[in-house]
Chains A and B, each alone.
Chain A
Amino acid sequence: MRLSRKAALILRAGVGVGLAFIYVPLLVLALYAFNSSSILKWPPPGLTLDWFGKALEDEFAREAFLTSLKAGAVATAIALALGTLASLAVARHRFFGRETISFLVILPIALPGIVTGVALSNTFTQVLGIDLGFFTVIVGHATFCIVVVYNNTIARLRRLSTSFEEASADLGAHTWQTFRFVTLPNLRSALGAGALLAFGLSFDEIIVTTFTIGAGEETLPIWIFRNLFRPNQLPVVNAVAVLVVLISILPVYLAHRLTREEGGPAAARGGAVEAEATAVP
């Protein structure tokens, strides 16, 4: 696309402003992680690496981190299964109420977290009489993660011509074989992107988690919330946050490389795959 010099300049400035807006607060946050005083004053009086050491030693933080990883993994797995099933049904069949499914799937993420959290908590404790704990947290997370997988897979399924599947059937493969050898390989990158975003959503979720978690468990956001204002813990929290961001850069980049489609016109579309995860079905 051709742009005038002026227009290109304005565009670049716009990108710069946007990126600065995104990163300056993160840099401030990172700076506080090195703050030698535990009270948040600006400018910070000195720099130290102590807090990172404390963060790595803090057993509560470690446990919370692991709990978050486990919960995220299971919730993502459930979301992958349910989201794929739903998108297969909607993309490949016609039936009464097909449009409603898209609507239903987006509800948990479109409605306020507090509504979802209180509703689920209420049902668990009052109607079903079960204890809040790891399981209930996963249920909550999986519920709003379904949509990101669903969006991605249904977008891909719609672009995927059914002729491949029909050819496979004509050649004698039954439904499961067709799915496993024809459909699934083509869905792989969509599933990967969906899984990545679903995991990210679950990992950072606080509101629904607050209402569905039991007394003895902690996910990382819950741990952060608990320590957010404790004077001596605050810099540790900042350090933990910085560490998490750093740890996540590699998987995000790798996932992006792996899910980029090989060859074909789609290759030029680079990261459209992840982008579609947040688009609406």
Chain B
Amino acid sequence: MGPGLDVDQGLSRRLASFFDGRPRLQVGALLAGPLGWLAIGYLGSLAILLIAAFWSVDPLSGEVVQGFSLENIEVLFDEPVYRSIVGRTVAIAALVTLTDALLAFPIAFYMAKLASRRGKALLLVAVLVPLWSSYLVKVLSWRTMLSSDGVIDWVLQPFGLHGPGYGNVAVWLVMSYLWLPYMVLPIYAGLERIPNSLISASEDLGAAPFTTFRRVILPLSFPAVVAGSIFTFSLTLGDYITPRLVSNNQFIGNVIFNNISNNLPLASALALVPIVVMVAYLLVARKLGAFEHV
């Protein structure tokens, strides 16, 4: 025990002794802050917003009527345009997730298993630095690359092709680009946790490298891929800025944004969709082990 301990005798000792032996109080004190903030502040705010989904708007005055009504939820199911918007958003979110998983895996694998200590550090910095360049500027950069006579057209022209221009393909490209680092890092962490001894054992037992990959590495890293996919999926699901800048198509976020001021109940009803989707996704991810560390 060093000299520093004597300094703490007064208030902190008395407080600490109060908590010693009262584990429930300890838990309570520890959780009061975070839970107060999250459960009451955040969840409460969400609930207040989502309650509006069950209200309606008076057709004549445009005022919000607070009586219980399912009409907004019904509109979401009945009107084909909302179905197609939700479908488009979810489909692109899934595509982006798949693309990022495919792009991220080699990088993460190389970083975790094959790079030297120096290489690991360099690659890590290389993957992290783009996170610090502004999201908006990156999207704008893509917008100019995709514009007619932009970089992409310029590169493809000698081959007689031209770029995808603005549209769903553009949104897919840009989103895959933006969220890639969020997929690399968890996969890297997951692969790091696989002991090299397991891989050596598999090789010693005679498995070809691809078999080892398929039957040892892939299953063990799958939870990490799922963990990364939570970010890529949810970030795509809610974005409205990128679709606006590189396409004319509406995503869930755009329609919510457009309806907030004149039809809050409809906007809230729409907000329910990504919430339900993400909660379901999180539950499935938990089942698949994404929430566990080895």
Contacts and interface: CB of A to CB of B under 8 A. Distances in A.
Chain A in direct contact with chain B (Cβ < 8 angstroms): yes
Interface of A: 1-4, 7-8, 11-12, 14-15, 17-19, 21-23, 25-26, 28-29, 32, 40-43, 81-83, 85-86, 88-89, 93, 95, 101-116, 118-120, 122-123, 127, 139, 142-143, 146, 155, 158-159, 171-177, 180-181, 200, 203-204, 206-207, 220-221, 224-225, 228, 234, 237-238, 241-242, 244-245, 248-249, 252-253, 256-257, 268-272, 274-281
B106 A256 contact: no
Contacts of B231: 109, 278
Interface string B241-276: 100000000001100110010000001000100110
A85 B130 contact: no
Interface string B1-25: 1001100100011011101100110
Interface in B218-236: 224, 227-228, 230-231, 234
B133 A29 contact: yes
Contacts of B284: none
B5 A228 contact: no
A206 B135 CA distance: 8
A244 B134 contact: yes
B100 to A, nearest CB: 10
A42 B34 contact: no
B209 A102 contact: no
B132 A203 contact: yes
B271 A103 contact: no
A171 B134 CA distance: 51
B104 interface: yes
Given A25-B142, A85-B31, A270-B120, A1 B188 contact: no
Nearest to B193: A272
B225 to A, nearest CB: 11
Contacts of A110: 230, 234, 278, 281-282
8 closest residue pairs by CB, A with B: A112-B238, A14-B106, A275-B189, A174-B16, A248-B132, A89-B30, A86-B34, A241-B137
Given A111-B234, A118-B49, 16 more contacts: A7-B210, A19-B126, A21-B180, A22-B127, A41-B149, A89-B34, A103-B282, A111-B278, A112-B256, A114-B271, A174-B12, A200-B132, A244-B134, A252-B129, A277-B185, A279-B189
B238 A119 contact: no
Contacts of B177: 21-22, 25
Nearest to B143: A40
A1 B16 contact: no
Contacts of A109: 231, 234
B25 to A, nearest CB: 11
B189 A114 contact: no
Nearest to A272: B192
B130 A22 contact: yes
A85 to B, nearest CB: 5
A26 B177 CA distance: 11
Given A21-B103, A85-B30, A86-B31, A115 B271 contact: yes
Interface residues of B, number: 115
A28 B152 CA distance: 11
B161 interface: no
A207 B241 contact: yes
B268 to A, nearest CB: 9
B237 interface: yes
A25 B145 contact: yes
Interface string B133-163: 1111110111011010111001000000000
A111 B276 CA distance: 9
B91 interface: no
B274 A93 contact: no
B291 A105 contact: no
Interface of B: 1, 4-5, 8, 12-13, 15-17, 19-20, 23-24, 26-27, 30-31, 33-35, 37-39, 41-46, 48-49, 103-107, 109-111, 113-114, 117, 120-121, 124-138, 140-142, 144-145, 147, 149-151, 154, 177, 180-182, 185-186, 188-190, 192-193, 196, 199-200, 203, 209-210, 212, 224, 227-228, 230-231, 234, 237-241, 252-253, 256-257, 260, 267, 271, 274-275, 278, 281-282, 285-286, 290-291, 293
A175 B19 contact: yes
A278 B182 contact: yes
Nearest to A179: B16
A112 B237 contact: yes
16 contacts: A22-B130, A23-B130, A25-B142, A42-B154, A95-B24, A110-B282, A112-B239, A112-B253, A172-B1, A173-B1, A244-B132, A245-B129, A256-B121, A256-B125, A275-B124, A279-B227
A206 B136 contact: yes
Given A175-B26, A270-B124, A32 B291 contact: no
B293 A114 contact: no
B186 A204 contact: no
Nearest to A159: B293
A270 B121 contact: yes
A15 B186 contact: no
Contact of A106 (B19, B141, B190, B282): B282
